[in-house]
Chains A and B, each alone.
Chain A
Amino acid sequence: MNGKHDITLTINGQAYAIRVEARRTLADVIREECGQTGTHLGCEHGVCGTCTVIVDGAPVRSCLMFAVQCDGAKIRTVEGLADGEEPHPLQRAFMEHHALQCGFCTPGFLMLAVGVLEREPDIGDEDLLDILSSNLCRCTGYANIVKAVRAAAAQMRRR
């Protein structure tokens, strides 16, 4: 019952060989075993989206996967967005458009939007609104989040 599994998670290109119980969620393991605490945990049951990370190219709720399911998967978290000291265009847009207040939900919004924009750079405004409805911000910052993501989408298309 309490058997542990030896797995390797690749987070932002770095391999973490770890031993975990099957019941441990990907979110918890990213934070605790791998020490990458940029990924936040809010509701822990898939509603708030704060724990969103990109697994093999798809933005997913890391609280709704078990780490053992991600053995060998390529995982991207907020720590991997910046290029050295240079923030990702979306991170810069969040700063410029005041798209965060307390910042708790921000890593989830960033990984959600980056995950979608990389796959669908030409996504329409309405679809983008629908996608941003996936995550919760309790500082009432949605209008600025939408502005920031639209601005970054335009910039990412130009690059």
Chain B
Amino acid sequence: MKPAAFEYHAPKTIAEAVALLAEVAPDDGRILAGGQSLVPTMAFRLARPAHLVDINGVDGLDRLYLDGNELSIGACVRHAAFHRPVVDGRLGLLLSSIVRHIAHYPIRQRGTFCGSLAQADPASEWCLTAVTLDGTMTAKSVRGSRTIGAQDFIEGIMTTALAEDELLTEARLPIPPDDTRFGFCEFNRIAGGFAVAMVLAAYGLKDGVITRPRLGVGGVETRPRRIPEAEQALEGRSPGAQAFRAASAAAAGAVDPMEDINTSADYRRDLVATLTLRALESAWS
């Protein structure tokens, strides 16, 4: 099918973009960034926005840089920017391994990190990353600018804290301490398919025991979240099979999995157990 007619706007600055968005948002105006989710939705006529504000030409939104102890990711930074490590150390390697799970190479040339956050698909790898690593989002509008923590930003399936006149201009990921280890594990049925379940684990080591554990689960509930029960099972324990199994059981017990035509809640729960174990082992190895 073909998208329905819309009016196209191509602002050059953030100020122009938010002014345009404020004007057209009440008339079903939307932001167009990478378009890799929006355009297919329009092709199916599930979305028929009357206006699109294309931010691809907006100055400065393609910036990806280290700002002190945070990685700043502008609204137009493509997934493909992460194919090679964008920062030294384990975080850059982690992001380059996660990005390979996002759709396919040509999609990653257009789709954006911030677009994934704004789309808030429960199976989004970047939503899980932002939530697990305590990312923050900057939303701008003619009314001003505000910063929103990832867990508050993602409210549910395809639902975010963004008001209709707000533009997500930037996401920030704090750089974890150097000794932080990461493990990411995702299950899906076909290459490039949506995650049926995925787990991101991070922890440091102090005096031989696990410290600062983070265990995030995505694709399982309506939004990604950290699982405190699993983190408690890791804190202060020696890394190894015993602690990892305890965390895996705790994670599986704590989630309230979604069901769909192919996947029962029990199956997703089993996946959480297995993926948690694998993510923790992969962080350790």
Contact = CB atoms under 8 A, between A and B. Distances in A.
Nearest to B44: A45
B7 A61 contact: no
B83 to A, nearest CB: 9
Given A59-B106, A59-B109, A45 B5 contact: no
B3 interface: yes
Contacts of A68: 8, 10
Contacts of B6: 1, 22-23
Contacts of A133: 104, 191-192
Nearest to A53: B106
A37 interface: no
Nearest to A64: B39
Interface string B1-26: 11111111010000000000000000
B35 A64 contact: yes
Contacts of A130: 100, 105, 191
Interface in B86-122: 100, 104-107, 109-110
Given A46-B40, A58-B109, A134 B3 contact: no
Contacts of A131: 104-105
Q: How large is the interface on A (under 10, 10 to 19, 20 to 34, 35 or more residues)?
A: 20 to 34
B162 interface: no
Residue with the greatest number of chain B CB neighbours at <10 A, chosen from A3, A52, A69, A112 = A69
Contacts of B105: 59, 112, 116, 130-131, 134
Interface stretch (B49-57, B203-211, B256-264, B269-277): B49-57
B159 interface: no
Contacts of B80: 58
Given A133-B104, A133-B192, 4 more contacts: A59-B109, A60-B106, A69-B54, A69-B56
12 contacts: A1-B50, A3-B7, A44-B43, A46-B36, A46-B39, A58-B80, A60-B106, A60-B110, A61-B36, A61-B107, A112-B106, A116-B105
Interface of A: 1-3, 5, 21-25, 28, 44-46, 49, 52, 58-61, 63-66, 68-69, 112, 115-116, 130-131, 133-134
